[in-house]
Amino acid sequence: MSNPILTQTSYLIAAALFILALKWLNAPKTARKGVWAGEIGMAAAIVGTLLLPEIKAFHWIVLTLLVGAGIGIPIALLMPMTAVPQRTALSHCFGGLAAGLVGTAEYYLARSQHGGHLDHFTSGVLALEVLLGYLTFTGSLMAFGKLQGILPSRPITYKGQNFVNLAILAIAALIGIALAIDPTQAGLAGGVVGQLMFPLLILLALLFGVFLIIPIGGADMPTVISLLNSYAGLSASAMGFVLDNKLLIIAGALDGSSGFILSVIMCKAMNRSFTNVLFGAFGQVQAAVAGKVEAKPVRSAQPDEAAAILGMAQSVVIIPGYGMAVAQAQHKVRDLCDQLTKRGVDVRFGIHPVAGRMPGHMNVLLAEADIPYERLLEMDEINPDMPQVDVALVIGANDVTNPAARHDKSSQIYGMPIIDVDKARTVMVIKRGMAAGFAGIENELYHMEKTLMLFGDAKQYVGEMVKELASGD
């Protein structure tokens, strides 16, 4: 690729701006500046590319850019905030698809133009780009389906599943290596089989993406989304190696490392390893056992009683979970927060890293409901304060509050860091019924002396409490 100086300069500026964008995202105050830096960087990169002499079909380019923008703008503006995890999965899907398609085009272009002379390294990286790209495409599509509720979010498992998955990956890797050694695979069985090698790689990558996500359950989505984020980035980086384009390498590496860091954080927050998340099919084994510990007594309360206790408290910590997102209760929770604050109650939120379906999910929902971000505290910030808290109100969270994680070595979630709600003076749990959580584990919190179970739909229940508090003025 010939690279005029103007294009190279614009790429350099774009790379610098992308790094600044992520740096500015560190703090809420500078974060929006980060988005603008990213936008300018992206614009510079696009203009720089269009200045390349080999770029010709401008009518096609403009048309496809407009189509892309025409689809992208409504997605961004109309999507409700509760659908953020789905949207993210969908965008990983597009990212992976683009990388896969470009990789495919590059492979066949190189074959047709240079008489099949791809060097070993480029060919190997191409195989990697295609593998990552297409597996991210179907994997994210599956994740989207599960998050959107089109596919069942329970893990689907069958005997020998891990063997099948590893076998697919192993064959794909072998094809990749074979393509790196001999890019055209012309020697193989008179070239006929060789012709099929690359399409077979694509097919296996597509299949692997589907099979990888099938056994993953809803509560593991934060890790998986982060992992797919990382793959999408790495495939862009691989594209950079193939095209000898450093901007692509840098941007892809930034995305790759970001996704990797997030998935490590998510794994730590569940005290599980990558392998366990990907091959563990959490929540299956335990389902059968869950039935035996039933019929223990619980204390329940009506909205007026609960509201009275909350109104008299000095400090309240609300622990939100995916259930709050499902019930769309965040605006009612804000009203509750306002009512209590008016009475001089100190209201804060304790947010577990894996609460919700993607990293930071709860923060976005609560920010949407206009709750100032100073009130949103991380698990490690809120836990030391829990013994001084009058009421811990759990809304739609379960396993991340289960004290068994601290002391019960036989528990499946033993060792997982939790929010210590049981240390608060009073615990209230809004829940639809007594069904076990995602992991299928009985939560002993519900049977504690100081726990009040508030049975009902989160949005409706919180709404009734707000009404109660408002009428008491």
Partner 1 sequence: METSSLVSNLYVFVLATFLGFEVIRRVSPLLHTPLMSLTNAISAISLVGSLVILGKQGGAINLFSILGALAVTASMINVVSGFLITDRMLKMFKSRDNRKTEGGAR
Active site residues: 399
- Does 87 bind partner 1 (CB under 8 A)? Our answer is yes
* Burial (CB count <10 Å: 0-12, 13-18, 19+), residue 66: exposed
Please state, in angstroms and rounded to a whole number, the distance separating the CA atoms of residues 191 and 197.
10
Could you say whether residue 256 binds partner 1 (CB under 8 A)?
yes
Residue 206 and residue 137 in contact, taking contact as beta carbons nearer than 8 Å? yes
CB 225 within 8 A of CB 92: yes
Helix (H, G, I), strand (E, B) or coil at 319: strand
Query: Is the alpha carbon torsion for 7, 11, 13, 14 positive or negative?
Result: positive
Query: Which of the stretches 149-157, 239-247, 273-281, 416-424 binds partner 1 when contact is defined by CB under 8 A?
Result: 239-247
Q: Is 177 in the site for partner 1 (CB under 8 A)?
A: no
Looking at the Cβ atoms of 81 and 203, the one nearer to partner 1 is: 81
Close Cβ partners of 309 (under 8 Å, ≥ 6 residues apart): 301, 391, 426, 428, 452
Distance of CA 399 to the CA centre of its chain: 18
Please give the backbone phi and psi of residue 325, each rounded to the nearest 5 degrees, phi first.
-65, -40
Q: Minimum distance from CB of 192 to partner 1 (Å)?
A: 20
Residues numbered 265-284 forming contacts with partner 1, rule: CB under 8 A: 265
Q: Using CB under 8 A, which of the segments 11-19, 161-169, 314-322, 445-453 binds partner 1? A: 11-19
Nearer to partner 1, 157 or 257 (CB): 257
* 23 vs 296 by CB, closer to partner 1: 23
Backbone angles phi, psi at 426, to 5 degrees: -130, 145
Beta bridge partners of 391: 316, 426
CB of residue 102 to partner 1, shortest distance in Å: 5
- What SS3 class is residue 350? strand
Footprint on residues 98-157 left by partner 1 (CB under 8 A): 98-99, 101-102, 104-106, 108-109, 119, 121-122
* Residues within window 19-78 making contact with partner 1, judged by CB under 8 A: 19, 21-23, 25-29, 31-32, 34-35, 38-39, 41-42, 45-46, 49-50, 52, 54-61, 64-65, 67-69, 71-73, 75-77
234 three-class SS: helix
Toward partner 1, which CB reaches closer, 304 or 338? 338
Give the nearer residue to partner 1 in terms of CB position, either 373 or 388.
373
Site membership for partner 1, residue 92 (CB under 8 A): yes
Per rule CB under 8 A, count of chain residues that contact partner 1: 114
